[in-house]
Amino acid sequence: MEKLLQNFDSIFSIDCIIFGLNEGELKILLIERNEDPYKSWYALPGNIVEQNESIDDAAQRILYELTGLKDIYMEQFYTFGAVKRHPSGRVITVAYNAMIRLDSAKELKPVTNYASKAFWMPVKDMPELAFDHTQIFNKGFEKIRSKISFEPIVFELLPEKFTLSQLQNLYEVILNKELDKRNFRKKMLAYNILNELNEKQEGVSFRAAKLYSFDKHKYDKFFQKELSFGKD
């Protein structure tokens, strides 16, 4: 034990998959590394967990540093701890999923010094990423994909007011398959977690659709099971 502690020099980090929706396309935030190893490769945004912050806080901080956004819901989905996943030493990483409203994000500002830029990469064009980040991305995306079949969790990606078609389109993009319009609307409205607004789409060159908003209060009532334990 003593010996263990003395030799101890592992590092704990956070990596984030930050989803955003832009012109109907699902994208995630990537950075381009400007340090070895994997210099000039694309990678998931991540950083080291500091002594005085919880892992949830670290995830929030990383998101804030890159997007200027705070208090976004992020969900831890897996911890990657293979011995040699990082070539220069032992790094265990906790991976988080987050979803943000692209239009609410300020300019991207990569303040981390190891990144030369941050940008949105369409999920369907995902290149090979640095380290084991491709694997992390796959697992995180799969997690979201399987989760939305049980529980509507994607409203954070849409504007505050959205049409049912936009919502359906988002589902189709995530699940990568077409859904039946009538069945989709029936099911979504049956969840009873949307507010029908007295407003319609504007600026479209066709019949304007009704706008809806997500009602977190109603949502919590029906999906309490998932909330039965606190954070961390």
224 touches which of a copy of itself, DNA, none (CB within 5 to 8 A by kind)? none
Nearest residue to 147 (alpha-carbon basis) of 185, 187, 95, 97: 97
Q: Is 181 in the site for DNA (CB under 7 A)?
A: yes
At position 132, the amino acid (one-letter code) is D
- Which of the choices DNA, a copy of itself, none does residue 51 contact, using the CB cut-off of 5 to 8 A by kind? a copy of itself
The residue whose two tokens read 């490769």 is: 41
**Spatial distance between the Cα atoms of 16 and 93, rounded to a whole number of angstroms:** 10
Rounded CA separation 139/97 (Å)? 10
CB atoms near residue 200 (< 10 Å): 13
What interhelical angle do 164-175 and 133-147 show, nearest 10?
130
Q: How far is the CB of 150 from DNA (least distance, A)?
A: 10
Closer residue to a copy of itself (CB): 13 or 166: 13
CB nearer DNA, residue 1 or residue 190: 190
Q: Quick one: what does residue 181 bind among a copy of itself, DNA, none, with the CB cut-off 5 to 8 Å set by partner type?
A: DNA
**Number of residues that make up the chain:** 232
The smaller minimum CB distance to a copy of itself, of residues 43 and 94, is found at 94
Question: Min. distance of Cβ 113 from a copy of itself in angstroms?
Answer: 7
Instruction: Output the smallest distance, CB 150 to a copy of itself, in A.
Output: 9
Residue 149 burial class via C-beta count within 10 angstroms: exposed 0-12, middle 13-18, buried 19 and up: exposed
By C-beta, is 90 or 161 nearer to a copy of itself?
90
Phi first, then psi: give them for residue 3, nearest 5 degrees.
-60, -45
- Per partner kind, with CB cut-offs from 5 to 8 A, the member of a copy of itself, DNA, none near residue 164 is DNA
198 part of the interface to DNA, by CB under 7 A: no
**206 touches which of a copy of itself, DNA, none (CB within 5 to 8 A by kind)?**
DNA
Instruction: Answer yes or no whether residue 206 interacts with DNA by CB under 7 A.
Output: yes
What angle is formed at CA 90 by the lines to CA 43 and CA 78, rounded to 5 degrees? 60
Q: Which is nearer to DNA, 206 or 229 (CB)?
A: 206
CB closer to a copy of itself, 53 vs 220? 53
Check if the beta carbon of residue 17 is closer than 8 Å to that of residue 141: yes
- Interaction partner, residue 79 (a copy of itself, DNA, none; CB < 5-8 Å by kind): a copy of itself
Contact present, 142 and 175 (Cβ < 8 Å): no
Q: Tell me, rounded to whole angstroms, the distance of Cα 152 from its chain centroid.
A: 14
185 binds DNA (CB under 7 A): yes
Give the residues lining the site for DNA (CB under 7 A).
163-165, 180-183, 185-187, 200, 204-210
